[in-house]
Amino acid sequence: MASIIESGWLYLITHFNDFQLACLGSFFLHESVFFLSGLPFIYFERAGWLSKYKIQTKNNTPAAQEKCITRLLLYHFCVNLPVMIVSYPVFRFMGMRSSLPLPSWKVLSTQILLYFILEDFVFYWGHRILHTKWLYKHVHSVHHEYATPFGLTSEYAHPAEILFLGFATIVGPAITGPHLITLWLWMVVRVLETVEAHCGYHFPWSLSNFLPLYGGAVFHDYHHRLLYTKSGNYSSTFVYMDWIFGTDKGYRRLKVLKSIEDEAEDKQM
């Protein structure tokens, strides 16, 4: 397996230069993973497929879904791509490389774990700041236009928020100067996580059923349903920051009440 990956990587670095791979390659990879993982949830909602796993009964209109896609393409090309181009010299200065040999799985997994920890911490505080009255009204309310989120709404936000919270995602790689393949893997994992958190479905195979600290769709869906500044559940991937600072109390109370209701229904049956 390792030799296959190395052969594929050798092809890339011999046909494209570092700038093309780091900027255009990263952008293409992001767009591919984001839309391929997010678009199916639009079709599930329209067709009514897997509706028993849907967290909210309300559906978005086709017009609202199309608006989201149109704005996303605009923001991705006019904000995300320029940021990738501008930040390239910084990553190069910090030591990012694309040459062989590829990093070991131990190095790669350690860096990805560090990125998750840093991203969770920075995102949590940045997200709380965005829920202050003025910033919520003028910036973060754009993301909350969709009270019933679907996968693609994960990146639907005001351009200022894209830059502000995007820092949480790139701070880890920026300070460690990883191999480009590590940066790509981090991007893929992070995109899949945020799409899942906004998908609007809770499946039996959802990670939150198996990882106690993982937030997932149910955790973040609660955040979107409450359209005011102090909604809680500000965490990104894992929930420990909300637990430590007590910003998930409403969510935990709701889970307890739901558990009591379910037990009462089971007894009646």
pLDDT in tens, the chain (269 residues): 668 999 999 999 999 999 999 999 999 999 999 999 999 999 999 999 999 999 999 999 999 999 999 999 999 999 999 999 999 999 999 999 999 999 999 999 999 999 999 999 999 999 999 999 999 999 999 999 999 999 999 999 999 999 999 999 999 999 999 999 999 999 999 999 999 999 999 999 999 999 989 999 999 999 998 766 678 999 999 999 999 999 999 999 988 887 776 665 656 65
C-alpha dist (Å) from residue 190 to 33, 117, 151, 227: 10, 12, 13, 25
pLDDT at 227: 67
Cβ atoms of residues 183 and 173 within 8 Å: yes
pLDDT at 259: 72
pLDDT at 234: 96
pLDDT at 126: 96
| Strand partners of residue 97 | 179
CA distance 22 to 269: 58
Q: What angle do CA 223, 227, 231 make, to 5 degrees?
A: 45
Rounded to two decimals, what is the model's pTM? Answer: 0.93
CA distance 138 to 155: 17
pLDDT at 123: 97
pLDDT at 268: 64
For residue 139, the 8-state DSSP code is T
